[in-house]
Amino acid sequence: MRSTQAYLLGLLLVAAMLPTTAGARFEPLELGEAAALMEELGGTARHPNANSVIGFDHQYIEFDERGAYDETHHTFIKILTDEGLNEHGDESIIYHRRYGSVDVVLARVIKADGTEVVVDEDLITEGTPPQVSAMNIFETDFRELTIVFPNLEVGDAIETITRLDYEPLIENGFNGMYFAQSTSPIEEVTITIVGPVDMPLKHIVRDGDLEFTESTADGKHVYSWKGTNIRHIEPEVAMPSPAQFATRVVVSTIHTWEELSNYLWEMTDEKCVAEEPVKELVAEITEGLDSTEDKIRAIHYWITENVRYLGIAMDRGAYLEPHFAAYTLEKEYGICRDKAVLMVTMLEEIGVPAWVVIINVNRLTDVEIPNTLFEHGIVAIEGPDGEYLYIDPTQETSREVYSTYVGDRWALVLTEGGTEIRKAPHVPASANSGDVVDTSILTEDGAISGTVTITGTGMYEEILRVIAKSAQEEQLRMAWEGAVQELYPGAEMTSFEVTDYEDLYEPIRITVGYAVDDYALEANPYFLFRVPAATGQFDFLSEAMVGRLTGLAERKYPLALSMTLGLEEKGQVVIPEGYTVASLPDNVSYQEGVIGLEIEYTFVPAARNDGEALIKYHRTFGIDSFQVSPKDYLALRDAMKLAGKSTRGEVILKKVEG
């Protein structure tokens, strides 16, 4: 029996030879070789904090002059923990039948004792992805192939060989992203790409180092990358997609972003045909509206309310050729590009030029090499200052027409003649901000009663709307009753009202009344109490979100919020007649990187307020980036500590003698 090291060296030699043979395939391990490799890989002592270890991941890709290509993957993964067992108990590949096919050449479990369990055909199933079926949508081209590994236990390994054949998304434009790092450590990874010599491949390695070689044989160019002993990515709570950090090879035969923009414009423009049903609909929903802005809003709301979004992650980027606008209108559902094409068509019917845009939402974009590896499609129109304004017709609960999450993301606008990729303008935290206003009255016996109104702008308001939609009014009432009870022992909610979450023309508002006996502590001649708005109980969204995501002492990866986030809280307490302020909590002014916090307490004497003395509280808080860097994360934790200290601060009143 050969040693594991000798066997792995043999695999490398085979991988090096594969590109010279068209249609080359990997061979399964012999059982003895598999057992030796499993022993060599070791367990959790060798791989602490890992749930599995990848013995090898070999990828072979060959493309032709059209940009069509096939991929063959040969992987060997050893299971180290129960979490790894759950992760690898089955594997799924989602693909689109119009563009490709998947073939399972080998799937088996290698038991710890060296025996094998071959996956039977009945454990390799193909069907409509569950997320499509759940929407009661009949779309036969979306497919999901699933492999279930039987009798898999900790200490076992799985070995798979899969072949994927793809038609080109871009004629003569092969491109892709291939990963050499995972959330599991990898002992060895090889990526080999073969293509015609007259279609040179632009390539770059991001976030890591790989050994690279290239050669030419039989009219084909061979590009090879190799890595060994690749450390794994240890997931952190609320981190961006690991695809943003993993060592990866980005490749493309597309020359420029302008070329890609123009090509995809041609693909989408021919679908933007205003057939009679589209014309009639636009006329109907814009009837009686005078301003262009009102018409744009009416079109946006109609699409978000009437065309269901089929959000589904595909196996190769996300850019699929969209359907004709009339088709999407008829079916009343579509993927993001379908909804974007329909919106572009409808906007052009009212004389507003519009373009489809592709962006990434969950990770930063590798802009060095033009590629189609985008997650999402939206719409752009030209704003009054010449900058694009972005509209996302898949935001089905958004009151805002112009998206407030796109800021600072790379966007490729698909235009005739093409355009360079660009960053969308920054969207400040104030555009995605909560708005909390509380007014209360403190009586001389220490009781307090008040009313608080919660609303917001941008994504904050949208999240409130989503919560209202999913929770329904009674559950919301119970949640707010709990929040009021946290204000002080014995606190009661005296009223509750939430506006219609389905009415996109008005911001959603939640209004809560509360009352507390013995709220202020009497220590004659003093009264001590906390301003209700300062307790944090009324901003349950950002406080809960940020508080939940700042538990780590430090971060290795950014904190992914997906949006900028802000808050403005205003509170005022009418104090009893005959009292003045002896002491107020300290004010706070903090700005570090993208984190800002301002807290101010103010005393307004009765003489300056129609006979009523007031304590005013004002807090503004902002996270001015959709990804918080590890350095800014430390500033965020500092700001949260300062806010918490302010929350515990008490107002001290003193009775005026005489």
- Domain of residue 410, CATH code: 3.10.620.30
* Cβ atoms within 10 Å, residue 610: 6
The pLDDT confidence band at residue 9, using thresholds 50, 70 and 90, is: very low
Q: Do 231 and 306 share a domain, yes or no?
A: no
The domain tally of the chain equals 3
Three-state DSSP class for residue 158? strand
Query: Are 98 and 118 within one domain?
Result: yes
Residue 14: count of CB within 10 angstroms of its CB: 15
- Is residue 246 in some structural domain? no
**pLDDT value at position 107?**
97
Inform me whether the pLDDT recorded for 342 exceeds 70: yes
**pLDDT (0 to 100) of residue 85:** 96
d(CA 98, CA 168) in angstroms, rounded, equals 10
If asked whether residues 218 and 280 sit together in one domain, one would say no
pLDDT digits (tens, 9 = 90+) for 265-283: 999 999 999 999 999 999 9
Q: Which of 205, 240, 275 is the last residue of a domain?
A: 240
DSSP per-residue string spanning 527-566: EEE--GGGGSSS-HHHHHHHHHT--SSS-SS-EE-SS-EE
Query: Can you spell out the DSSP letters for 267-308?
Result: HHHTT----HHHHHHHHHHTTT--SHHHHHHHHHHHHHHHSE
User: 79: which 2 tokens?
Assistant: 């299971």
Domain that holds residue 560: 430-655
Q: Is 505 found in the same domain as 463?
A: yes
Query: With contact defined as beta carbons under 8 Å apart, do 626 and 405 qualify?
Result: yes
Which of 209, 240, 271 is at the close of a domain?
Answer: 240
Residue 311 in domain: yes
Over residues 394-400, the mean pLDDT reads 93
* Whether 449 and 314 share a structural domain: no
Look at residues 408, 427, 446 and tell me which one is the last residue of a structural domain: 427
The pLDDT, as a whole number, for residue 309 is 87
Are 414 and 434 members of one domain?
Answer: no
Domain identity same for 83 and 227: yes
Our CA dihedral for 392, 397, 399, 401, rounded to 10 degrees, sits at 10
pLDDT tens digits along 203-232: 999 999 999 999 998 899 999 999 999 999
- Residue 537 corresponds to which amino acid? Q
Is residue 188 within 8 A of residue 228, CB to CB? The reply is yes
Question: Is residue 25 located within the same domain as residue 133?
Answer: yes
410 has a pLDDT exceeding 90: yes
In the chain, helix, strand, coil percent, each to 5? 25, 35, 40
When pLDDT is cut at 50, 70 and 90, the band that residue 97 belongs to is confident
* Per-residue pLDDT tens digits for 222-264: 999 999 999 999 999 999 999 999 999 999 999 999 999 999 9
- Number of other CB atoms surrounding residue 499 within 10 Å: 15
